[in-house]
Structure 1
């Protein structure tokens, strides 16, 4: 089973990260043969698919490189200035696995995959504009609602400041914060179906995570950086800028389970404000029991929503495989308006993204 999960992770990297594809392919073969990879992964043999043990393995190895503990391997990692030699990669990986087997085993077993990909801020921003505008239309308001943003599975909280990011469109326009240190090229096909000139007003932001990451610390920064695929330098640079922005504009991410945290926050309605519950690429890490609890909490709050204190659910999660890869959909529900929309689809990293409004049933 573990070998299959490594192979599955390798296939997911094939088109986007030659380094991780080669690493995980070789590691799967070594694992099947009972090599040093089996020692590193001891104790994780029964891990479920959603915990992606292959990516935890690759991220833990990347963490050693970032900490300067594997200089012989660093020459293959573009994230630290190296140039990958795929033909000799595994020969340089094996001695590192042998030397740091105990440390790597501890990292693999104690961490969860948390890229906290800031590229997902782009579809979030567009989705929030749509939500604020459509909720206002349904309530007969002339101006969009201000927004309270509540994020489940917020990790380091990098997607809790969409109004402080600039979004450079192909026609030369820049949406959002034109002066932000984080400027994204969202690679949109189409545009959000709403007034893009309307400002996004965030009046409150909060997040929770079972294992929040403090990006103001070097340890937190390395943890998130380790899960960015080392040969994806655009994503690497984007993450570094997003973490610096987070340090400048801190938002606390509370250590808490999603359902309990959400119930507590939703018990406090905000008159004149649209409350938006948001999560992205987190559902696969949540147990079925926790998912059911979360749905119950949201349904209870939805039943209490009013035009004065409306509620929205905005999610960006994988829905189905297309050509061997998952398609990620941006979905929106609004209460009490009774609006359910599929707003578009994109990559797991949020960029690129295609806007395509359809009814979501």
Structure 2
């Protein structure tokens, strides 16, 4: 039942986005009554839970607000300079829904939820520094390897420029101190290697089944609309990452991950550390694609050499035995060095992050 999926999404907002939670609860009640939300969501009645129809609905409304076409509703949206009044929110949303129902239905039916969280560049930066140093040590090199970064499920590619971001740590800006994007990594502990030296990325590429062109206004609005509207700091972080992307464009290819990765890894590249990276995409891939991706990576790992090494670096939720059923962990495998490490864990958006290097079985 669609209304129940809206309520599921609302529960996911609890404690994190009171505005989105209140909006989705009211929308679920309207759906159950057969109100205007049923018209907006027509055609989505059988959508699977993984498509998160409630968040697509909230994102479509947010987009209208960001475009300046729903001023009364914008008064509740901090991302548009408003202040939420949760008691009045739904009353101001209803006229917008009636006026733009057909347009909202198209938006809901043609978009997928994509957050492309740039905060994950912080653990990525430390993970890349660790990988290149350990690969160099295994090869007997004095200097760290330059990196070829390959991202599967890259969305708009906002995490394909971790070396272009400024990270304030202990009073010093790591990465690129002159960057227009400063990201506080909120680290507890530190990576197991020196991260003060320059990280060199010589090649970057990404793929996604539905890539977002962040050099266009449409692409920027698409990603901004899926940020919960009362998370202003996260919204501003995304805008800074989008501005950086304009200065340093990296196209993302429309392709399925296993096939694209197979093409990218067809032969080892000497004097370069090739790093396959993905973050919070594993749960959205099919079992068949997961199996195919593992096989592609295993074939490439068998061809890796000390002077043409390969790394897998991922930031994904994993089951735990603690109070939280899942924890986002940064994991590293390195071939042919045989390194397999859990580097630490953090929030789903990448910050804060705790460095705690342990073997990864």
Q: Do both share a fold (TM > 0.5)?
A: yes
In 1, the alpha carbon distance for the partners of 2:45 and 2:132 equals: 46
For residues 327-338 of structure 1, the aligned pairs below 5 Å read 327-338=327-338
Whether the 8 Å contact between 1:144 and 1:198 is mirrored in structure 2 is: no
Q: Which residue of 1 aligns with 2:193?
A: 194
Q: CA RMSD in A?
A: 1.6
Cα deviation, 1:336-360, whole Å, max 9, x if unaligned, reads: 1121111111111111111111221
For residues 1-361 of structure 1, the aligned pairs below 5 Å read 1-169=1-169, 171-320=170-319, 326-361=326-361
Cα deviation, 1:188-217, whole Å, max 9, x if unaligned, reads: 111111112232111110111112111111
Whether the 8 Å contact between 1:12 and 1:325 is mirrored in structure 2 is: no
Cα deviation, 1:141-170, whole Å, max 9, x if unaligned, reads: 22211110001111111111110111012x
- The SS at the match of 2:23 is helix
Whether the 8 Å contact between 2:342 and 2:360 is mirrored in structure 1 is: yes
In 2, the alpha carbon distance for the partners of 1:289 and 1:46 equals: 23
Shift of 1:136: 1.6
**Unpaired segments of 5 or more residues in structure 1?**
none
Count, aligned residues: 360
In 2, the alpha carbon distance for the partners of 1:325 and 1:236 equals: 27
- The SS at the match of 2:233 is helix
- The SS at the match of 1:192 is coil
In 1, the alpha carbon distance for the partners of 2:307 and 2:102 equals: 56
- Give the direction of change, closer, same or farther, for the CA distance of 1:289–1:38 in structure 2 (3 Å limit): farther
Cα deviation, 1:56-99, whole Å, max 9, x if unaligned, reads: 11111101111222112111111111111111111112222222
Cα deviation, 1:265-303, whole Å, max 9, x if unaligned, reads: 101321011100011112222222222221221111112
In 1, the alpha carbon distance for the partners of 2:159 and 2:354 equals: 19
TM-score under structure 2 length normalisation: 0.95
In 1, the alpha carbon distance for the partners of 2:306 and 2:324 equals: 42
- Give the direction of change, closer, same or farther, for the CA distance of 1:323–1:54 in structure 2 (3 Å limit): farther
More displaced 10-residue stretch of structure 1: 86-95 or 36-45: 36-45
Shift of 1:325: 7.5
TM-score under structure 1 length normalisation: 0.95
In 2, the alpha carbon distance for the partners of 1:352 and 1:334 equals: 25
